[in-house]
């Protein structure tokens, strides 16, 4: 089981000037989220396979998907009722012996159908239990963060680990659903093969009328069996899709919760944001205006909430957006002063990128660059959408 990312020191924030796109946010207090010696890895807080942006996992939290629940209140799948196979009479012909063999094959498929339907019901119950346990842990975390708590509160770290364990259980449940889907698919192939054999047996000589009557009945029973197997396969497929989407979305949300716990405050979306507003802001940023400008003119800058809101807006408008983080340094002073300013700006850019990673942005969708600005009074970090 993966653990909660290691706790690190944080610094109090001071005021700074910030520049955001239209409708994003006004200038606010911004502070440093991480020390340069941070030992926190965002990959520890999020499942690697779930690292994708909005429309998948790895982005700042999107609208929450409903947890996967068992149908029928978690009871066995009532819509899958195996067909009763008529035993038939032995007519003594060679054709009837073939019919008995085929009947045994179809009866075996009916037995497996009932067992697989129960497997699906059990997996649904397990998935619902894991999702419920996850939501309870998540609710306790968000409640504590909402009312205020300390940075890196160990009680919330424990709750976070419990939530992670519940999601791991749900992932294992998805793997078992995939295995069930494979078994049901194989049964479907066997049922279609048996149906073809039944059709071919009608043409075998040496049969009596009773043999053909039994064949016709067995053919009907096999067709019904195929319908039920296909229905079960669809239910399994639907459950896999639903639980996979839910798990991926919550992996993303869990990553953001980890960052929130480390800072002792709950990250949230921008109130009243609409898709049109997000698109407008993104177009504004795409025209060469930075999405966010963080000025490090004072120590210990608090920028997390502003950065999170800006990323959230950008990803709502363009889920597959990439980001360029530009370290901007002033050109005042002698050559040594300029060199020191460039080094400081690059270090601040790395801090911003670590924060973005903690907020769910994959490293593969960020790149860093350096620049100078004679009008800059102190080092800045400008985040652009690409």
pLDDT band, residue 269 (cuts 50/70/90): very low
Q: What is the pLDDT of residue 38?
A: 35
Let me know whether 82 and 155 are in one domain.
yes
Let me know whether 128 and 247 are in one domain.
yes
Q: What is the pLDDT of residue 147?
A: 85
Domain membership of residue 6 (yes or no) is no
Q: What is the pLDDT of residue 139?
A: 92
Let me know whether 54 and 173 are in one domain.
no
| Domain coverage including residue 116 | 71-263
Let me know whether 301 and 187 are in one domain.
no
Let me know whether 94 and 243 are in one domain.
yes
Let me know whether 200 and 51 are in one domain.
no
pLDDT at 175 over 60: yes
Q: What SS3 state is found at 372?
A: strand
To 10 degrees, the CA torsion angle through 17, 19, 23, 28? -20
The proportion of the chain whose per-residue pLDDT surpasses 90, expressed as a percent, equals 32
Domain membership of residue 381 (yes or no) is yes
Which residues does 216 contact at the CB level (< 8 Å), separation at least 6?
A: none
Domain membership of residue 9 (yes or no) is no
Let me know whether 99 and 236 are in one domain.
yes
Let me know whether 79 and 209 are in one domain.
yes
Average pLDDT, the chain: 75
Domain membership of residue 156 (yes or no) is yes
Q: What is the pLDDT of residue 79?
A: 65
DSSP codes of every residue in 52-114: --BTBSSSSP-SPPPPP--GGGG---TT--PPPPP-----SSHHHHHHHHHHHHHHHHHHHHH
Distance in angstroms (rounded) separating the CA atoms of residues 246 and 277: 27
What is the total count of domains within the chain? 2
pLDDT band, residue 184 (cuts 50/70/90): very high
Let me know whether 283 and 299 are in one domain.
yes
């Amino acid at each position: 089981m993966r653990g909660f990312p290691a706790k690190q020191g944080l610094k109090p924030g001071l005021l700074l000037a910030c520049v955001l796109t239209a409708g994003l946010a006004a200038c606010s207090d911004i502070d440093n989220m991480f020390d340069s010696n941070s030992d926190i890895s965002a990959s520890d807080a999020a499942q690697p396979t779930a690292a994708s942006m909005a429309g998948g996992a790895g982005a700042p939290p999107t609208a929450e998907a409903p947890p996967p629940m068992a149908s029928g209140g978690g009871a066995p799948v009532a819509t899958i009722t195996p067909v009763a196979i008529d035993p038939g009479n032995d007519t003594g012909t060679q054709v009837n012996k073939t019919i008995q063999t085929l009947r045994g094959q179809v009866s075996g498929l009916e037995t497996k159908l009932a067992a697989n339907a129960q497997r699906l019901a059990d997996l649904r119950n397990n998935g619902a239990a894991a999702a419920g346990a996850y939501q309870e842990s998540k609710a306790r975390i968000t409640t504590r963060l909402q009312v205020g708590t300390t940075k890196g509160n160990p009680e919330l770290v424990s709750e976070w680990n419990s939530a992670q364990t519940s999601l791991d259980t749900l992932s294992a449940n998805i793997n078992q659903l995939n295995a069930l889907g494979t078994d049901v698919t194989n049964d479907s192939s066997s049922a279609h093969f048996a149906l073809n054999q039944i059709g071919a047996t009608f043409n075998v000589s040496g049969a009596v009328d009773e043999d053909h009557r039994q064949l016709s009945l067995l053919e009907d029973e096999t067709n019904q069996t195929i319908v039920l197997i296909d229905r079960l396969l669809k239910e399994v497929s639907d459950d896999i899709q639903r639980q996979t989407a839910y798990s991926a979305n919550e992996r993303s949300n869990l990553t953001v919760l980890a960052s929130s716990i480390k800072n002792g405050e709950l990250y949230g979306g921008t109130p009243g944001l609409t898709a049109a507003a997000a698109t407008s802001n993104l177009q504004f940023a795409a025209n060469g205006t930075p999405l966010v400008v963080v000025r490090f003119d004072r120590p210990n800058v608090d920028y997390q909430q502003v950065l999170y809101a800006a990323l959230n807006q950008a990803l709502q408008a363009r889920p597959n957006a990439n980001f360029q983080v530009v370290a901007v340094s002033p050109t005042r002073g002698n050559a040594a002063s300029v060199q020191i300013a460039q080094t400081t700006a690059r270090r601040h850019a790395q801090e911003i990128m670590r924060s973005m990673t903690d907020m769910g942005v994959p490293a593969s969708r960020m790149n860093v660059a350096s620049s100078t600005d004679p009008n800059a009074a102190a080092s800045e970090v400008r985040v652009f959408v690409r």
